[in-house]
Amino acid sequence: MLLHIGFDDTDSPSGGCTTYIAARLVDALSGLGARFVDYPNLLRLNPNVPWKTRGNGAVCLRVEIDKSREEDALRSVLNLVESYADFDCDNTNPGVVFLEGVVPTGLIEFSERVVKTVVSLDDALKLADEHEASAIGFKNMRGIIGGLAAVGGLQRGDHTYEFLSYRLPGNWGTPRRVDLDSVVRMDEATGGSTFNNVDPETGRVLIAPNGPDPVLYGIRGEDPSAVREAGLMVDSEPLERWVVFRTNQGTDAHLGSHVTASSLRPFSPAILEGLVSSPPRTIQGGHVFVGLTDETGRVDCAAYEPTGPFREIVRRLIPGDRVRAYGGVRGEASSERPTFNLEKLEVLGLARDLRKVNPKCPECGGSMESMGRGKGFRCRRCGLRGPKMEKATEELVRQIGTGLFMPPPRAQRHLSKPEVRYGKEKSGPLRLEPEAPWHWP
């Protein structure tokens, strides 16, 4: 029988990791004679929801297994979730979903909605019942939403891969030991096939998380062999295990189609297009805001301090520039002036930057100063008076061009498509069955 096993919401800021449970399940299910028909699927969900933990990732394992071992498989999944989920955290509410056979269209569409919008638990439970999927939840059961979305997230379009390595349990919570020079060498050797390993501006290594979770490091790239080879180039503390996942990371899967300013919804990703309507302003903390207007209304677009030099691009905009903004609304947005958090920005057209300036002296070329409203100008150098002279119009050279701009890799979200991936999007028929070796041990 074909069995899809989806689960979500097992981690917390103080520990746990949904992908680690998946890695342990690879061993457990293989021991039951299961054959994996796809790489473990890591589905990053809507990054704007306030209850997410870290990367907001759900996982689905797709296996063929003898019907007589189905109960053993289900018991293994639940035992590992109960053993490794952080039940002490109020915001951790695990959910597990089991589905037999072909994934129906309704679940595929549901998965896309969970990545792009906010859905209710009632909707998930109703859909699971409609398609005869078994859904098991703990505490408030919110993880069922992500688990069901992972089952429906077949990722038949654009996708990437990630090599995830895990620490020995005795090392959890201690500083990670990853050789920085080896990461730089790996990045140089695999350029083009992996991405976001090192931040080019600061030299900061991006593959290792900072929290107490079991992950040691993760390497993202275009194909499974590339991330596996890159992962094995890194020198580090001993590994407990590693697994290659297929994922929607780096694909902009959350952004969807264009929306208008008036149709923005709280906690939802979006793409907006319009005109800059007010000069950029910088507030305390270094955050930069700029107004954007379309035919339906206005929003404030925000580039926050962690986005680094990306803020300077926003500061160079002027009213009248046409832009396409990518990002989302994190909090409750008023219908009048929601705040749109920028993930990237495309400058489509530039307005002329025209300024009124004092005229130059026609005699000596010196600077002239006003003699008062309607009284003309006087040359500071030679004293020439021009009672009928007026301010001149001067066009300033813009310090920005058209094109796509985004924050440095250190400030990019898991789902955001980095610039190096443009033109590498995948489509069409896929070979899904994993090519060994795709996990260890």
The answer to whether 160 touches 181, Cβ cutoff 8 Å, is no
Residue 15's DSSP bridge partners are 12
What does residue 392 show for φ and ψ, rounded to 5 degrees? -95, 155
53, pLDDT greater than 90: no
What pLDDT shows up at residue 318?
Answer: 98
For residues 73 and 46, give the distance between their C-alpha atoms in angstroms, rounded to a whole number.
Answer: 29
Q: What is the pLDDT of residues 269-292, one digit of tens each?
A: 999 999 999 999 999 999 999 999
The answer to whether 290 touches 316, Cβ cutoff 8 Å, is no
| Closest among 73, 86, 93, 91 to 136, alpha carbons compared | 93
Cα radius of gyration (the chain) = 27
Q: β-pairing, 353-357 with 339-349?
A: unpaired
- Find tokens 């260890």 and name the residue: 440
Residue 354's DSSP bridge partners are 395
Q: Which residues contact 172 (CB under 8 A, 6 or more apart)?
A: 15, 212, 213, 214
What pLDDT shows up at residue 5?
Answer: 98
The answer to whether 73 touches 100, Cβ cutoff 8 Å, is no
What mean pLDDT do residues 328-347 have? 80
pLDDT mean across residues, the chain: 94
What mean pLDDT do residues 421-436 have? 88
What mean pLDDT do residues 359-380 have? 91
Q: What is the pLDDT of residues 194-209, one digit of tens each?
A: 999 999 999 999 999 9
What mean pLDDT do residues 169-195 have? 96
For residues 327 and 259, give the distance between their C-alpha atoms in angstroms, rounded to a whole number.
Answer: 11
**Chain-centre distance for alpha carbon 140:** 26
Burial degree of 102 (CB within 10 A; 0-12, 13-18, 19+): exposed
Helices 143-152 & 121-130, crossing angle to 10 degrees? 50
Tokens of 63: 């296996």
Q: Which residues contact 374 (CB under 8 A, 6 or more apart)?
A: none
Asked which of 11-20, 134-143, 335-344, 370-379 is least confident by mean pLDDT, the reply is: 335-344
In degrees, rounded to 5, the angle at the alpha carbon of residue 221 between the alpha carbons of residues 219 and 223 is 125
Burial degree of 335 (CB within 10 A; 0-12, 13-18, 19+): exposed
Query: How does residue 337 score in pLDDT terms, banded at 50, 70 and 90?
Result: low
| Helix/strand number for the chain, H first, E second | 8, 23
Separation in Å, CA 121 to CA 3, 189, 294: 23, 45, 34
pTM (predicted TM-score)? 0.92
Burial degree of 359 (CB within 10 A; 0-12, 13-18, 19+): middle
What pLDDT shows up at residue 335?
Answer: 46
Q: Which residues contact 4 (CB under 8 A, 6 or more apart)?
A: 60, 61, 62, 97, 98, 99, 100, 103, 151
For residues 155 and 150, give the distance between their C-alpha atoms in angstroms, rounded to a whole number.
Answer: 10
334, pLDDT greater than 70: no
Query: How does residue 332 score in pLDDT terms, banded at 50, 70 and 90?
Result: low
The answer to whether 18 touches 85, Cβ cutoff 8 Å, is no
Q: What is the pLDDT of residues 214-232, one digit of tens each?
A: 999 999 999 999 999 999 9
Can you tell me whether residue 334 is helix, strand or coil? coil
The answer to whether 211 touches 16, Cβ cutoff 8 Å, is no
